[in-house]
């Protein structure tokens, strides 16, 4: 043990070793475990040098500063960073002058689209990084076309929306003249961390991770937008569609997909909170030979902070297992137990190494994959 900031987790491999035959490899790999895993708190300003020196093999945190050029021995993986949300003030001066909330939101998003920056404009809550995006691609394209058509959403002579100066993104995207700290603001531009959104809804207990729809676009869209829906038919329809999806109350996959599309469309119809787009998160790892890692898989939402990374990563210097050190920018603050703890960023990464769920998130998909392999034989009931 190195204390809370540097934790050594011993992973026993006795069962794997006992099943080996004279050094021959298994034909399948149900999981890969380095024989020693260190999860260590590393400040962002120290991460670049620690990666270069192979003192850590991966870093789960803000992008390290490698200078003008990324070293050849360092690679990046990209995942969904944050949803960018435009929230319209119901008491906005523009709204009082007859401009609709949708027009205010649309004008702000169009201005974001006109400024180069970290935001990918995508006015639909299911992104191309979601595994079920193809079910929504036509709706997303239509939403973008409506947003970026040639018609100015604001009436002639209307004032430009005043934006609440909340957060660094607004200051990065908009000129100072557009920002305000007064109560007479029209809209705000906010970010919602995608990994935090998912982790906040996840339950991990008794070799189970869930809920089953945790990674689906409709579920994350409802987490994002349902709290902002006004009372009325729209909210009632969203709640009814969500209950049906969670109860598997549909007759076919076609009916299920249509339910998901309808739910997201209803969520997007209200303009009190509108998804403007998303940012991409990049996390870095060492691919140096021979002290780096390979065979990496990761989650498109949570990045390297996922069980599939720990269970697929292989150190190049070892044909089997080896010591793995992962740096993270967060310090442990939660309790260390599988019932009421491991719910901070450090603890979730640690539990990815300690836990042994029956199912793991499938890479690049909304479904799940087996974490173990068993000899399943057909019987009369399964035929």
Query: 3-state SS string over 174-223?
Result: CCHHHEECCCCCCEEEEEEEHHHHHHHHCEEECCEEECCCCCCHHHHHHH
Q: What does the alpha-carbon distance between residue 230 and residue 134 come to, in Å, rounded to a whole number?
A: 29
Q: Are residues 128 and 263 in the same domain?
A: yes
Q: Are residues 187 and 245 in the same domain?
A: yes
Final residue belonging to a domain, choices 246, 279, 312: 279
Which residues, including other chains, have CB under 8 Å from residue 338's CB and lie 6 or more apart? 204, 205, 351, 354, 355
Containing H/E element for 31?
A: none
Q: Are residues 135 and 275 in the same domain?
A: yes
Q: Are residues 119 and 218 in the same domain?
A: yes
In Å, how far are 76, 105, 160 from 47, measured between CA atoms?
Answer: 13, 38, 42
Q: Which of 135-144, 277-286, 334-343 has the least mean pLDDT?
A: 334-343
Q: Are residues 105 and 243 in the same domain?
A: yes
In a domain, 173, yes or no: yes
In a domain, 84, yes or no: yes
Confidence band of 182 (pLDDT split at 50, 70, 90): confident
Final residue belonging to a domain, choices 279, 312, 346: 279
Record the pTM.
Answer: 0.84
Place of tokens 């390979």: 294
Q: What does the alpha-carbon distance between residue 173 and residue 189 come to, in Å, rounded to a whole number?
A: 10
pLDDT, tens digit, for every residue of 203-233? 877 667 889 999 999 999 999 999 999 889 9
In a domain, 101, yes or no: yes
Q: Are residues 168 and 274 in the same domain?
A: yes
What average pLDDT does the chain have?
84
In Å, how far are 26, 136, 272, 301, 317 from 221, measured between CA atoms?
Answer: 42, 12, 14, 13, 42
pLDDT, tens digit, for every residue of 319-350? 766 788 999 999 999 888 877 788 899 998 99
335-367 as b/e: b if 16+ CB within 10 A: eeeeeeebebbbbbbbbbbbbebebbbbeeebe
Residue 52's pLDDT is what? 94
Between 174 and 16, name the one with better pLDDT: 174
In a domain, 1, yes or no: no
Q: Are residues 221 and 318 in the same domain?
A: no
In a domain, 382, yes or no: no
Residue 43's pLDDT is what? 95
In a domain, 377, yes or no: no
Tally of domains in the chain: 2
Between 22 and 326, name the one with better pLDDT: 326
Confidence band of 29 (pLDDT split at 50, 70, 90): very low
In Å, how far are 7, 166, 201 from 335, measured between CA atoms?
Answer: 14, 32, 18
Q: Are residues 357 and 291 in the same domain?
A: yes
Q: What does the alpha-carbon distance between residue 268 and residue 104 come to, in Å, rounded to a whole number?
A: 15
Range of the domain at 69: 6-73+287-370
């Amino acid at each position: 043990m190195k204390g809370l900031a540097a934790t050594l987790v011993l992973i026993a491999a006795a069962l794997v070793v006992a099943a080996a035959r004279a050094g021959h490899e298994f034909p399948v790999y149900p999981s890969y475990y380095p024989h020693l895993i260190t999860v260590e708190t590393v400040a962002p300003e120290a991460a670049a040098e620690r990666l270069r020196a192979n003192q850590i093999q991966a870093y789960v945190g803000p992008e390290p500063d490698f200078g003008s050029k990324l070293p050849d021995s360092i690679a990046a993986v990209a995942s969904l960073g944050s949803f960018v949300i435009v929230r319209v003030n119901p008491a906005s001066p523009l709204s009082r002058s007859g401009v609709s909330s949708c027009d205010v939101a649309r004008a702000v998003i169009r201005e974001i689209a006109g400024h180069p920056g970290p935001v990918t404009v995508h006015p639909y809550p299911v992104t191309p990084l979601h595994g079920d995006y193809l079910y929504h691609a036509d709706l997303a394209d239509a939403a973008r076309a409506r947003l970026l058509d040639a018609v100015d959403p604001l009436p002639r002579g209307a004032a430009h929306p005043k934006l609440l100066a909340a957060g660094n993104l607004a200051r990065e995207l908009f000129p100072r003249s557009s920002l305000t700290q007064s109560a007479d603001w029209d809209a705000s531009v906010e970010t919602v961390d995608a990994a935090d959104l998912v982790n906040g809804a996840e339950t991990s207990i008794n070799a189970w991770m869930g809920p089953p729809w945790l990674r689906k676009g409709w579920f994350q869209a409802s987490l994002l937008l349902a709290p902002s829906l006004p009372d009325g038919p729209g909210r009632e329809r969203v709640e009814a569609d969500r209950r049906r999806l969670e109860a598997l109350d549909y007759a076919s996959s076609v009916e299920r997909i249509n339910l998901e599309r309808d739910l997201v469309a209803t969520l997007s119809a209200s303009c009190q909170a509108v998804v403007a787009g998303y940012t991409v998160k990049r996390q870095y790892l060492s691919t140096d030979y021979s002290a780096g890692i390979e065979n990496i898989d990761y989650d498109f939402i949570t990045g390297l902070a996922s069980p599939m990374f720990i269970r697929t990563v292989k150190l190049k210097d070892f044909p089997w297992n080896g010591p793995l050190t992962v740096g993270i920018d967060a310090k442990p603050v939660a309790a260390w137990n599988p019932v009421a703890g491991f719910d901070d960023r450090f603890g979730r990464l640690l539990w990815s190494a300690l836990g042994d769920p029956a199912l793991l998130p499938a890479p690049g998909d909304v479904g799940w994959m087996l974490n173990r392999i068993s000899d399943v034989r057909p019987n009369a009931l399964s035929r």
